[in-house]
Amino acid sequence: MSIPRTAAAGVLPRIKVSRTGRQTPAVRVEHLLPIDQIVLGDCIESLRRLPSQSVDMIFADPPYNLQLENALTRPDNSHVDAVNDEWDRFDSFAEYDAFTRAWLAECRRVMKKTATLFVIGSYHNIFRVGSAVQDLGFWILNDIVWRKANPMPNFRGRRFTNAHETLIWASRSADARGYTFHYEALKAGNEDTQMRSDWYFPLCTGEERLKDAQGRKVHPTQKPEALVARALLAASNPGDIILDPFFGSGTTGAVAKRLGRRFIGLERDPVYAQAAQERIDNVVPLDADAVAAAPARRTEPRIPFLSLLEAGMIAAGEELVDAREKHRAIVRADGTLTVGPVVGSIHKVGALVQGHPSCNGWSFWHARRNNGLIAIDSLRDDYRARHAAP
């Protein structure tokens, strides 16, 4: 079967090595990658052909090793369309563990130092995957629970309904720094509440579910786009290269294209690859403004409180209060605050008056402006805007 715009395994170009002492011109890694393509072939062999430290994020949905021995039926004896494909069958836990360690090791090799990995699984496999993740040197940042709004019931009534799956989110190593996490954007989109590690989404149904000409599921474990989108929005930027070593129905590629990311998909089944390519071809990318990464507070220039005094935005002797006007402090000429005999920074004094171990003074303290209160953090934003580099 011919797959449009899909790379066959083993066609990636090689870097020429100079043995004469002359310097070889630098080659951009991106030129060696099958970007926005589906690579047909075994995932481990395909991974081995990718350059080291070349991808920004990985979303992996590996075989779950469900170990189904018999067909599943409902109480009315109707058949359950469960996962019984050959790719999910392993002769033993040892064989599954060896497979898991092999693909994870290659994923770690191709990850940039700032890259992170998401891997999803059920109780059948996620604990074995997690052990391999740690043994190979990854550093687990979070385990995320996908709570299913519409889980499949337990038809035999002998177990709890299996209503969740687990994602492991990990950096390349314990000392990895600079990995992407859009904390502020996630919080802002979550009604200014920190995004939690339990995510609530329905199973993939309706028009999103790929069907063949007979109306049957193209892929038995197609993940909802909303689930993958949250992972990509949390841990990648527009233009980043997202690798999916078990591409399946192409959810990662479809979401990546819509969100302005680039993708590499590895898939051994040409039927899945064909369906995934057709799906991705129909995706319309969002406008750049709709997917641009919001600036993170921690990356903005540090502004001392004293700078606001020096710029005349706050005056020495001015009174600051909290939002409820329960606590009051006086601004000193050196940029500290005083409450009675206590003198300290905006953070230290804010913590002391509340009896807390710490405090973000920028959001706690407010100044009176135009017959109302304004957080001094807003004044800091104004200062940044006035003094931004041209």
Q: What is the pLDDT of residues 356-383, one digit of tens each?
A: 999 999 999 999 999 899 999 999 999 9
**What integer pLDDT is reported at residue 148 of this predicted model?**
93
- Tell me which DSSP letter residue 21 carries: S
For 191-247, what is each residue's pLDDT tens digit? 889 999 999 999 988 888 888 888 888 888 889 999 999 999 999 999 999 999 999
Per-residue confidence (pLDDT) for residue 212, from 0 to 100: 85
Instruction: Give the CA-trace dihedral at 383, 386, 388, 390, to 10 degrees.
Output: -170
pTM: 0.73
pLDDT at residue 23 in the model: 47
What is the predicted pLDDT for the residue at 297? 65
Name the phi and psi angles at 11, rounded to 5.
Answer: -110, 10
CA neighbor of 204 nearest in space, from 191, 219, 214: 219
271 phi/psi in degrees, rounded to 5: -70, -45
pLDDT averaged over every residue in the chain: 87
- Report CA-CA distances (Å) from 327 to 155, 353, 378: 59, 7, 19
User: What span, in angstroms and rounded, lies between the C-alpha atoms of 182 and 24?
Assistant: 38
Average pLDDT in the 107-112 region?
A: 98
Pick left, alpha or beta for residue 370 (phi over 0 → left; psi -120 to 50 → alpha; otherwise beta).
left
- Our CA angle for 40, 120, 282, nearest 5°, is 50
- Of 256, 54, 63, 78, the closest CA to residue 172 belongs to 54
> Tens of pLDDT along 310-360?
999 999 999 999 999 999 999 999 999 999 999 999 999 999 999 999 999
- Rounded to whole angstroms, the Cα distance separating 273 from 289 reads 31
